[in-house]
Structure 1
Amino acid sequence: MPSRDFKRTDRVGAELRRELGLLVHAAVRDHGLSSCSVSDVEVTRDLDWATVWVTALLPDQSLELVKALNGMSGEFRRSLSRSMRLRRVPELRFKYDDSVDKGERIDALLREGAAGHAQDEGDA
């Protein structure tokens, strides 16, 4: 019997990511929050909890953004219960995904290093 590549938690997480992407986009627009997007959703094995990772366009406002989204998690769950075919929609926990910020910082450091290296060769 072939192994299943996708577990149920992966499928539920992917569907939650699609649906929450739309809901969060609408909430950002309606509540005047800083722009953000859903980067990933991790669902626990028992489907009780879902950790929603968001990235913000303005990283300095990420703390208040995550706080506001966690405050609206009940509304998001109600909307998801109407749009998804799940017996029970998981509790939502929003967290900030800083991987994009870290990537940009590493990229900037590499550019500075390359520019410094080019100057060193030009001086020699």
Structure 2
Amino acid sequence: MAKYRTGRINEEMKKEISAIIMNGLKDPRITAMITITDVEVTSDLRYAKVYASIFGTEQQKEESFLGLKNSAGFIRREVGKRIQLRYVPELIFVMDDTIDKGMHIDELIRKANEQKGN
């Protein structure tokens, strides 16, 4: 039963954090497109790892990630207003590069198929 509740909290946090980043965050450093790919809340609801995928140039990624990390307190407060939990988890942002890795693998497969056809 506890795992089911944790999964629901993970999804709700993911949805709310995404909405806050899209609509409520006004940090000028955040210029790239940010997607929240996953949220993992600990069983005691004290910490939440937030996996963010950032699209843009390397400089935009770094600046946007820094702005995201610096606005963690604001995002946490907003999540606390929107989701009724006894403890609002402390947000730990982690850069998620699985989409970049997937695009790289897709490119390698495409090149291999082109060479195979020749």
TM-score category, normalised to shorter length: 0.7 to 0.9
Q: How does 1:1-124 map to 2 (within 5 A)?
A: 4=1, 6-27=3-24, 30-32=26-28, 33=30, 34-58=32-56, 60=58, 61-119=60-118
Instruction: Give distance in 2, aligned partners of 1:84 and 1:15.
Output: 8
2 CA distance for matches of 1:53 and 1:114?
32
Q: Where in structure 1 do 4 or more consecutive aligned residues deviate above 6 Å?
A: none
Instruction: State whether residues 54 and 61 of structure 2, in contact with CA within 8 Å, keep that contact through their aligned partners in structure 1.
Output: yes
Distance 1:39 1:77 in 2: 17
2-side partners of 1:39 and 1:18: how far apart? Answer: 10
Unaligned runs of 5+ in 2: none
- Aligned-pair Cα RMSD in Å: 1.7
User: 1:13–1:42: 8 Å Cα contact kept in structure 2?
Assistant: yes
Structure 1 unmatched ranges of 5 or more:
120-124
Q: Identify which of structures 1 and 2 has the higher relative contact order when contacts are C-alpha pairs closer than 8 Å and 6+ apart.
A: 2
Structure 1: distance between partners of 2:4 and 2:65: 28
How far the C-alpha of 1:20 sits from its partner, in A, is: 0.3
Q: What is the rounded CA distance, in whole Å, between the counterparts of 2:63 and 2:24 in structure 1?
A: 14
C-alpha change, 1:92 and 1:59, in structure 2 (3 Å) is farther
Once the two structures are TM-superposed, the CA of residue 6 in structure 1 deviates from its matched residue by 4.6
In the superposition, the TM-score normalised over structure 1's length comes to 0.84
Asked if 1 retains the 8 angstrom alpha-carbon contact of 2:27 and 2:67, the reply is no
Separation (CA, whole Å) in 2 of partners of 1:27 and 1:113: 44
Secondary structure at the aligned position of 1:87 is classed as coil
AA aligned opposite 1:75: F
Rg larger in 1 or in 2? 1
Indicate how the Cα distance of structure 1 residues 105 and 59 shifts in structure 2: closer, same or farther if over 3 A, else same.
Answer: farther
